[in-house]
Structure 1
Amino acid sequence: MPGWRAWLFSLAVSILPNHCLAAKVAAAADLQFALAEIVADYSRLTGRQVSIAYGSSGHFARQIAQGAPFDLFISADEEYVLRLAAQGMLRDSGRLYAIGRLALLVPRGSRLTADESLSGLAAAIADGRLRRLAIANPEHAPYGRAARAALQHAGLWNVLQGKLVLGENVAQAAQFALSGSAEGGIVAWSLSLSPELARRSSAALIPAAWHPPIRQRMALTRGAGEAAIRFYDYLQQPAARAVLERHGFALPES
C-alpha cells in the first residue's frame, strides 16, 4: 500500500507485545501527524509506549459510553468530552488542548483551485466542473459540522447537495479528495500541512469566522492508569503544545 494511503487506513501508532502496559488512547483523526510526533518524542524521553486508535470523535464517544477500554479520549469536539464527563464516564471535564482549523484541499491535477474565499469552488460548481466534494460526515465528525457551516456561510451548501462524498472521519474525507473519488475536500488544516498530503495537493485555510470554533478537548477516563496519566500530563507541556502549533492548531491559554 502506498505510503500516503497507509496512514489513512492505520488505526494505531503502536501495537505493543505487552499491550496492557501502554496508555490506550482514542484520538480524533485530525491529530494523526501531530500526535505521531508527540508520541515519538514522549517515548524517546521516557521509554514509555502509547497505543493510539484514530477515528471519528463521535464514534469514540459512543464506544466510551458503552465501556470501551480506553484510558484517554482526545476529541476534536469538546462537547463529546463534556457529555461523557456529565455521565460520570471520565475523571473530570478534562482540558481544552487545541482549536482546529479548516482547509480546502485540492489534489494535483484537479479541476478546482484552492483559495480561502472558496470562489474557485463556487465557479467550479457553477460551470459544472465539480462532480464531487469530500467532507467528514456532519452527523458525528466535528470537522464535518464545521465544513457544513463554512459552506453555508459561502452560500454553497444547498447547491452541493447530491455532490458531497462523506467520510467517516476527516482523514477519510482527505483520502477521498486524494484518491479521485472527489475533486477536492474540506478537511483539517493539520492534515493538509503534512508532507504526505502536501506532496500531492494544495490547500487554502478557510477563515475561522466562517464556522463555529473547533474546540478540541481531552480527558482521562475513570479507569485510566498511571501510564495514561503521565502521557496526559505530557500533552499539556510546552514541548507537546509546540508540536500541535507547528501542525496547524491554534493553542488555548495554558
Structure 2
Amino acid sequence: MSFFMLSIMRLIRQSAVVATLAISCLSLILPVSVAHTAEAPAIAAAANIKFALDDIARQFEQQTGLSVRISYGSSGNFVTQIQHGAPFEMMLSADEFYIEQLHKAGYTQDAGVIYAIGRLALAAPKKSELILDPGLVGLGQFITDGKLTRFAIANPDHAPYGERAREILKAKGLWDAVQPKLILGENASQAAQFTISGSTQGGIVPLSLALAPQFIKMANYVVIPDELYQPLTQRMALMPNASETAERFYQYMQSPSAQKILREFGFNLPNATEKLD
C-alpha cells in the first residue's frame, strides 16, 4: 500500500476518534432538557453537578409534575451570559464567588444559599500507567520519569474546579512541570471526559463526576484530601424573573431528598443553608 493511502487511512481514523470524543463531550456540556413543555424554567448549572442534578430534576418532576430545563457549563461563562441577558431563572454555581458577583450587580433576588461543598479526585483511564494516590506522589514520579504527556483539568480561568486543580498542583510543586502537558476542558465535565477517553493519562476532576457509573466503567480515581485546596462552596440563587416552578425547584434543592442524592455523588453538605447578608 502506498504512503499516500496509508496517510489517508490514518487521517480518517484520527478524524473518527476526534468526532467520537466531540460527541461524547457534547452529551455532557450541552443543555439537558428534563422538560417537554415550553414554560419549563431555564436553569444554569455548573457542569460538575450534572449527574446529581439530573437525578434530582427527575425526582422533582416525578413528585411535583413540574419540569425544568437545565444547561450545564462553567460558572464563569454563565455569569457572562446572564450579564448579557440570558433568560435563566436560577443558577447553581460551582463556587459561591460567581453568585456573589451576580448578586452585587443586581442579577439575583438575593445572595442565595449554599447547596453543596464540592470535592476533587485524581483520576486516570484504566489502561493508564499513572499510579493514583491522594498525595499525588505517583503523579510526581510519573513526571520525573518523563512519562507524562497529557493531563486534564478544567480551564482555571473560568471554571472553579480548574482553579482548585491548579491550586493543588502548585501546592505539590507540580504545576510548572504539568502546565505544558495540560489539556484544558471548557468546564469540569469536559475535563472529566478528556480524562476517561484515553486522550490523556489522567486528570483532576470533580469527585461527583468520578462517582458516576459512566466514569467508573472507564477510569479509576482516588479522592484528593480536602485540606489541599480551598473549599468549593457551591451556591445557588434565583434571578428576579424566577417563576413559581423555579422557586419550587430552588426549595426542593434544599430538601432531604435532594441532599441525599448530593451525598451519594460525593458532595459534602453545608451545616446550614441560611441566606447571607
The TM-score bracket by the shorter chain reads over 0.9
Q: Is the 8 A contact 1:34 1:247 kept in 2?
A: yes
Counterpart position of 1:12: 31
Unmatched runs of 5 consecutive residues or more in structure 1: none
Within a 5 Å distance, the mapping from 1:209-228 to structure 2 comes to: 209-228=227-246
State the 4+ residue runs in structure 1 displaced beyond 6 angstroms: none
1:161 aligned counterpart, secondary structure: helix
Q: What CA distance in whole angstroms lies between the structure 2 residues aligned with 1:38 and 1:18?
A: 18
Aligned residue among 67, 79, 86 for 1:61: 79
Q: Is the 8 A contact 1:94 1:219 kept in 2?
A: yes
Counterpart position of 2:4: none
Q: Is the 8 A contact 2:115 2:270 kept in 1?
A: yes
Counterpart position of 2:123: 105
Q: Which amino acid aligns with 1:135?
A: I
Unmatched runs of 5 consecutive residues or more in structure 2: 1-19, 273-277
Tell me if 1:168 matches 2:186.
Answer: yes
Q: Which moved more, 1:177-186 or 1:218-227?
A: 177-186
Aligned residue among 259, 264, 275 for 1:241: 259
Q: What CA distance in whole angstroms lies between the structure 2 residues aligned with 1:52 and 1:9?
A: 12
Deviation of the 1:208 alpha carbon: 0.8
Within a 5 Å distance, the mapping from 1:122-141 to structure 2 comes to: 122-141=140-159
Root mean square deviation of aligned Cα: 1.6
Counterpart position of 1:149: 167
Counterpart position of 2:51: 33
Deviation of the 1:15 alpha carbon: 6.1
Q: Is the 8 A contact 1:11 1:52 kept in 2?
A: no
2:33 aligned counterpart, secondary structure: coil
Tell me if 1:189 matches 2:203.
Answer: no
Q: What CA distance in whole angstroms lies between the structure 2 residues aligned with 1:181 and 1:148?
A: 20
Q: Is the 8 A contact 1:190 1:249 kept in 2?
A: yes
Q: Which amino acid aligns with 1:147?
A: A
Q: What CA distance in whole angstroms lies between the structure 1 residues aligned with 2:30 and 2:189?
A: 11
Aligned residues: 252
Deviation of the 1:176 alpha carbon: 1.0
Q: What CA distance in whole angstroms lies between the structure 1 residues aligned with 2:263 and 2:28?
A: 25
Q: What CA distance in whole angstroms lies between the structure 2 residues aligned with 1:51 and 1:126?
A: 46
Q: What CA distance in whole angstroms lies between the structure 2 residues aligned with 1:161 and 1:23?
A: 39
Deviation of the 1:9 alpha carbon: 3.7
Counterpart position of 1:52: 70
Deviation of the 1:230 alpha carbon: 0.6
Deviation of the 1:12 alpha carbon: 2.6
Q: Which amino acid aligns with 2:59?
A: D
Q: What CA distance in whole angstroms lies between the structure 1 residues aligned with 2:221 and 2:36?
A: 39
Deviation of the 1:177 alpha carbon: 1.1
Q: What CA distance in whole angstroms lies between the structure 1 residues aligned with 2:205 and 2:189?
A: 8
Q: Is the 8 A contact 2:149 2:181 kept in 1?
A: yes
2:32 aligned counterpart, secondary structure: coil
Q: What CA distance in whole angstroms lies between the structure 2 residues aligned with 1:10 and 1:143?
A: 15
1:162 aligned counterpart, secondary structure: helix
Shift of the 123–139 alpha-carbon distance from structure 1 to 2, 3 Å rule, reads same
